[in-house]
Amino acid sequence: MSESIEPDAPSHAAQQRQRASQLARAIRGELQKAVIGQDSVIDDVLTALIAGGHVLLEGVPGLGKTLLVRALARCFGGEFARIQFTPDLMPSDVTGHAVYDLQTEQFKLRKGPLFTHLLLADEINRAPAKTQAALLEAMQERQVTLEGRALPIPQPFMVLATQNPIEQEGTYPLPEAELDRFMLKVRMDYPDAEQELSMVRQVSRSTRADMLDVQPLRTVLQAKDVLALQRIASDLPLDDQVLDYAVRLARTTRSWPGLTLGAGPRASIALVRCARARALLRGGGFVIPDDIKGCALAVLRHRVRIAPELDIEGLEVDHVLGQLLDQVPAPRL
């Protein structure tokens, strides 16, 4: 049985925030049972869920990217769909298509897996650009146009796409327009020795070969609860100095040495929305500069491009952005 937040409950705003924060932390606790050693990744995914955004998960095979999404779907009582992206996948396989019904002698719309609450786009960079583009309208407009009709997608709607960074053969880079639609690009790294030991111990007890079983996880929230979390987070107080800090970070990327492409205004908006979600997740009553700074790497890393000469030297975009975050002064509240 899931807990619930009633959006119109006649309770004080502070009490409502507290209940929302408790619910968000309950989801985090359930996810940590299944995905060991990836606490920061779990926080980033929950941040995007509460902020109403989409996530691109990047990491080498075997780190638990798909497991994390399956675990989130288990904790979430809404609809879940998975698409395995392959080179021969067609746009209609994602969005749906019209089918001719012989009995009625009419065309009927058959909706694709895109019409769901939580969509796992597995190995998204294995499909060509034409198929990747089928996600664009859904991610931005929360609707899909089929046979000239705009069909709304159930709310909340979240795309969690995974991609492997090292397997270049048979992959297609995501275009900038699509990358920009992802609120966060989250990198999954190897767990440390103690966490890996704990993971191996737990998985080796599992009946499902090399996978952890997500069945024991409890359903913590329903679709209406996610919408309530999003609404409560969007109402969290935000000081003008913190807002200015978010905009300054995004604008600084456009003139920062070592970056040839800076982040657009959508990055500023994403920083603010994510910061509000993080504030709710930590149980805060308002947004602080650390909430902005904590999600800045995940918001900015896929929206900027590193200079070729730094790329040749082996420097990564995270290193350049780390220097930027250290040098742009944060407000003191």
User: Is the pLDDT score of 320 beyond 90?
Assistant: yes
Query: Nearest Cα to 236, choosing from 294, 280, 266, 299?
Result: 280
On whether both 155 and 256 belong to a single domain, the answer is: no
Are 229 and 265 contained in the same domain?
Answer: no
Of the residues 187, 219, 235, which one is the last residue of a structural domain?
235
The mean of the pLDDT values for the chain is 86
Checking if the pLDDT of 111 tops 70, the result is yes
Is the domain of 164 the same as that of 301? no
Q: What is the dihedral of CA 260, 265, 268, 270, to 10 degrees?
A: -100
Domain end among 203, 219, 235: 235
Predicted local distance difference test score (pLDDT) of residue 56: 94
Average pLDDT over residues 32-61: 90
* Mean pLDDT within 245-251: 97
Q: Give me the half-sphere count of Cα atoms (radius 13 Å) on the Cβ side of residue 164.
A: 17
Is residue 196 domain-shared with residue 260, that is, in the same domain? no
Residue closest to 284 by CA, chosen among 246, 237, 239: 237
The CA dihedral of 151, 154, 156, 160, to the nearest 10 degrees, is -80
More confident residue, 291 or 146: 291
User: Tell me, what's the pLDDT at 240?
Assistant: 96
- Residue 105 has, within 13 A of its CA and on its CB side, a CA count of 0
Percent of all residues in the chain with a pLDDT value above 70, rounded to a whole number? 91
- Find, among 121, 107, 12, the residue nearest to 66 by Cα: 121
Number of domains in the chain: 2
Rank 114-128, 168-182, 258-272, 306-320 by mean pLDDT and report only the highest: 258-272
Q: According to the model, what pLDDT value does residue 9 have?
A: 47
The answer to whether the Cα torsion of 81, 182, 40, 59 is positive or negative is: positive
Q: Is residue 3 domain-resident?
A: no
Taking Cα atoms as reference points, which of 49, 6, 74 lies closest to residue 281? 49
If asked whether residues 248 and 329 sit together in one domain, one would say yes
Asked whether residue 90 is domain-assigned, the answer is yes
Residue 306, domain CATH: 1.10.8.80
- Interatomic CA distance for residues 304 and 311, integer angstroms: 13
Q: Which residue has the higher pLDDT, 68 or 9?
A: 68
Instruction: Dump strand ranges (E) for 63-105.
Output: 80-84, 96-101
pLDDT at 330 over 50: yes
Is residue 84, in this structure, part of any structural domain at all? yes
Got the DSSP string for 195-233? HHHHHHHHHHHSSSTTS---TTS---B-HHHHHHHHHHH
Q: Are residues 138 and 53 in the same domain?
A: yes
Residue type present at position 22? Q
Q: Which are the contacts of 215, defined by CB distance < 8 A and separation ≥ 6?
A: 74
What's the DSSP call for residue 181? T
Shared-domain flag, residues 257 and 169: no
Within a domain: 1: no
pLDDT for 233 equals 94
Q: Does one domain contain both 249 and 213? A: no
**What domain range is 327 assigned to?**
236-333
Same domain, 30 and 100: yes
- Higher local confidence (pLDDT), 225 or 191: 225
Evaluate if residue 166 carries a pLDDT over 80.
Answer: no
pLDDT over 80 (residue 119): yes
Q: What is the largest CA-CA distance in the chain?
A: 69
Residue 4 lies in a domain: no
* pLDDT at res. 10: 47
286: which residues sit within 8 A by CB, 6+ positions away? 236, 237, 238, 239, 279
Q: Which residue has the higher pLDDT, 184 or 138?
A: 184
82 and 138, same domain (yes or no): yes
Question: Per the structure block, which two tokens stand in for 190?
Answer: 């190897």
Residue 19 has pLDDT above 50, yes or no: yes
- Indicate if 84 and 209 belong to the same structural domain: yes
Q: For the whole model, what pTM was predicted?
A: 0.88
Residue 65 counted as domain residue: yes
Confirm whether 2 is domain-assigned.
no
Give per-residue pLDDT as tens, 189-217.
877 788 778 777 776 766 655 455 677 78
Write down the pLDDT at residue 276.
97
Pick from 13-27, 128-142, 159-173: least confident:
159-173
Q: DSSP character for 58? A: E
Domain assignment present for residue 139? The answer is yes
Residue 168: the pLDDT is 58
Whether residue 39 is found in the same domain as residue 112: yes
Task: Provide the angle, in degrees to the nearest 10, between the axes of the packed helices 265-282 and 240-252.
Answer: 130
Of the pLDDT bands very low, low, confident and very high (cuts 50, 70, 90), residue 170 is low
Which CATH number goes with the domain that contains 30? 3.40.50.300
CA atoms within 13 A on the CB side of 300: 33
Tell me which of 235, 263, 285 is where a domain ends: 235
